[in-house]
Amino acid sequence: MSCKITGNVLLMSGAPTRVYIARLAGIAVFDPAGDQVGRVRDVVVALRLAPRPPRVLGLVVEVAPRRPVFLPITRVTVIEADAIIFNGRLNVRRFQKRESETLVIAEMLDRTVRFPDTGELVSVVDVAMEPTRTRDWLIGKVAVRRGGRGLRRGAGLRRRGESLIVDWDAVEGFSAVEHGQGAAGLIAAFERMKPADLANIVHELSEKRRTEVAVALDDERLADVLEELPEDDQIEILGKLEADRAADVLEAMGPDDAADLLGELPTEQREQLLMLMEPQDAAPVRRLLTYADDSAGGLMTTDPVIIPPDATVAEALAQIRNPDLNPALAAQVYVCRPPTATPTGRYLGTVHFQRLLREPPPTLVSGIVDTELDPLRPTMSLAAVAMYLATYNLVAGAVVDENGHLLGSVTIDDVLDHLLPEDWRETAMDAVAEATADPEEEALRGTEGTT
C-alpha cells in the first residue's frame, strides 16, 4: 500500500491510507533524483490537548555519517513499504528535539497507557498516522497489547498478549513522556539496523531510556553497540549494569575495545570486572592494558586471522569470508607456527587477500607468504604506525614482539579513530548546515505547541 502527493493533491491507492510508524524504521529515503540520502530513524509528532490527535511534523532521517536530520512531512511525496521519496532539499542541520515534540519510536512504543472507562493498563505496540485532506498527517490509531490472563467483563478469561487496534482517544497516558515505558518495541523496530546506526540512536536517548535499552539487549548486541558509542556513554551504560552482566558484555566485545573501555574505569572497578570475566577472555585484555593508548600495542586487536603454514589457500579464504569479520582484518591473513592464538608461535609473514584470490585453492600459504615487510613493534608510536600503513598502502599491519611472536594487528580504522578529533563529523556537517536555514521547517515546527 502506498500514497503519493502531487502538488497539493493526495493520491491514494484504495481506501484512506494508514501507515504504522514502527514499520517505517530503517526504510530508505530517496531524493527527487532517485538517490538514497539516508534511512528513517523516527517520526516527530506534536501532542495536543485531548481529544485532538497528535499532528505529525516530520521524519528523523539518518544521513551519512550517522547524523540525524529533520525532514518535514510536507516534503514527503511517496510512502511505500520499502522506500520514502521527498521533494525539495534536505536540511543537513543536526536534528534536535524540542520540548513540545515527541519521538514516536523512541518515546511512545512500549508506553503503558490505559482505557479510561475500565482503568485497564495496556502496552503500546505501534501507532498509525493517517493523512487528511489538507496534507496534514495525524496519529489516528494505536495498536496495544493486553497483559497476562485476567478477567474481562462479559468475556471470562482473556488470552495472554491479546492485541487490538483502537482510536487515539480511546486510551490515555501519552502526556507524560517515558511514563511506564519499556524498550522491547524500540529494539524490535531497529532489529535489522547495523550496530553503528543503533548506537547513534541510543546516544540520542535520555539516560533513563538508554539504560532500559541496554538492559533489554542481549550481550552480543549490546557489545556491538558499546563499541560504537562515545566513551562517556560506554562508561555510563556499563555502570548501570549488574557486575556479572557487565563482565559478560565485556567478554563479547573485541579485546581491544574492552581494553579501551576498562582503561577509562577506576582501578578497583576495572579489576573487579576482569576477575569476573572468564580467564581466557580476560588474559588478552590484561595484555593490552599494559601498553600505552597511543602505541601499536594499545591500538592493536588480538584477534586477527591467523593460520598455520600448512593451511591451504582455500582454508584461508574460508576464514576471511566470515561476515562478522572487520573488513580491514579480512584484508590479510597472518601465517604463524603453532600456537595460532596470540601470542603465537614464530611469525612467518603475511598473505594479502588479493594474492589468495590469484592462487589455486590447494596451494599452501607457506609458499606465497610475504616475508619482506618488517612488522610493527608494540612500542611504536601512533604517528609511526600511521606512516607505516601509508608508506606501504596497507589497511592493517602485524604487531610482533622482539622474540618473533605475533601479538595482534593494527587496522587503519583504529588509527584514524585516534588521529581525528572526536567530533570531526559533526564539525564538518555543522559547517555545511550554517547556510541551509529552512523557513518551512522552522514554520512547521516553531508554530506547533501542545495545545
Q: What are phi and psi of 279, to 5 degrees?
A: -55, -40
Percent helix, strand, coil in the chain (nearest 5)?
35, 25, 40
The alpha carbon dihedral of 222, 224, 230, 231 has a sign of positive
Inter-residue contact 448 to 100 (CB < 8 Å): yes
pTM of the model: 0.63
Give ranges for CATH 1.25.60.10 in the chain. 191-290
In whole angstroms, give the CA distance from residue 291 to residue 347: 20
Spatial CB neighbours of 353, under 8 Å, sequence gap ≥ 6:
317, 320, 330, 331, 332, 333
In whole angstroms, give the CA distance from residue 98 to residue 30: 26
Give ranges for CATH 3.10.580.10 in the chain. 306-419
What is the predicted pLDDT for the residue at 427? 58
The interaxial angle of helices 279-289 and 243-252, nearest 10 deg, is 80
The hierarchical CATH code for the domain 306-419 is 3.10.580.10
User: How many other C-beta atoms lie within 10 A of the C-beta of residue 431?
Assistant: 9
Between 192 and 443, the higher pLDDT residue: 192
pLDDT higher than threshold 60 for residue 355: yes
Which of 390, 388, 398 shows the shortest CA–CA distance to 352? 398
The alpha carbon dihedral of 425, 431, 436, 437 has a sign of positive
What is the predicted pLDDT for the residue at 194? 81
Indicate left, alpha or beta for 349 from its phi (over 0: left) and psi (-120 to 50: alpha). Answer: left
What is the predicted pLDDT for the residue at 423? 64
pLDDT higher than threshold 60 for residue 319: yes
- Topology (CATH level 3) of domain 191-290: MgtE N-terminal fold (1.25.60)
Which of 94, 62, 77 shows the shortest CA–CA distance to 137? 77
pLDDT category, 341, cuts 50, 70, 90?
A: very high
What is the predicted pLDDT for the residue at 196? 81
Out of 121-130, 148-157, 207-216, the most confident range is: 121-130
What is the predicted pLDDT for the residue at 57? 93
What average pLDDT does the chain have? 84
What is the predicted pLDDT for the residue at 411? 95
What is the predicted pLDDT for the residue at 181? 56
Distance from CA of residue 234 to its chain's centroid? Answer: 13
pLDDT higher than threshold 50 for residue 157: no
In whole angstroms, give the CA distance from residue 398 to residue 348: 11
pLDDT, tens digit (0-9, with 9 covering 90-100), for 3-51: 444 433 333 344 447 899 999 999 999 999 999 999 999 999 988 776 7
In whole angstroms, give the CA distance from residue 341 to residue 169: 61
Distance from CA of residue 64 to its chain's centroid? Answer: 13
Residue 94, strand partner residues: 69
Average pLDDT of the residues in 420-441: 57
What is the predicted pLDDT for the residue at 449? 41
Which of 49, 56, 47 shows the shortest CA–CA distance to 79? 56
pLDDT higher than threshold 60 for residue 375: yes
What is the predicted pLDDT for the residue at 185? 66
Average pLDDT of the residues in 228-240: 91
Inter-residue contact 327 to 443 (CB < 8 Å): no
What is the predicted pLDDT for the residue at 88? 86
Which of 302, 226, 293 shows the shortest CA–CA distance to 260? 293
Q: What is the length of the chain?
A: 451
What is the predicted pLDDT for the residue at 429? 45
Reduce the DSSP state of residue 184 to 3 states and report it.
Answer: helix
Inter-residue contact 404 to 348 (CB < 8 Å): no
Average pLDDT of the residues in 166-170: 91
The DSSP code sequence of 33-69 is TS-EEEEEEEEEEE--STTSPPEEEEEEEEETTTEEE
Between 326 and 204, the higher pLDDT residue: 326
pLDDT, tens digit (0-9, with 9 covering 90-100), for 406-427: 999 999 998 998 888 766 555 5
| Cis status of the peptide bond prior to 343, with omega within 30 of 0 | yes
What is the predicted pLDDT for the residue at 182? 61
CA count, 13 A, side-chain hemisphere, 358? 6
pLDDT, tens digit (0-9, with 9 covering 90-100), for 182-231: 666 667 777 777 888 888 888 878 788 888 889 888 899 999 999 988 88
Inter-residue contact 438 to 446 (CB < 8 Å): no
The least confident of 100-109, 243-252, 271-280 is: 100-109
pLDDT category, 177, cuts 50, 70, 90?
A: very low
pLDDT category, 448, cuts 50, 70, 90?
A: very low
What is the predicted pLDDT for the residue at 175? 67
Average pLDDT of the residues in 351-356: 96
For 425, the grid coordinates are 563529523
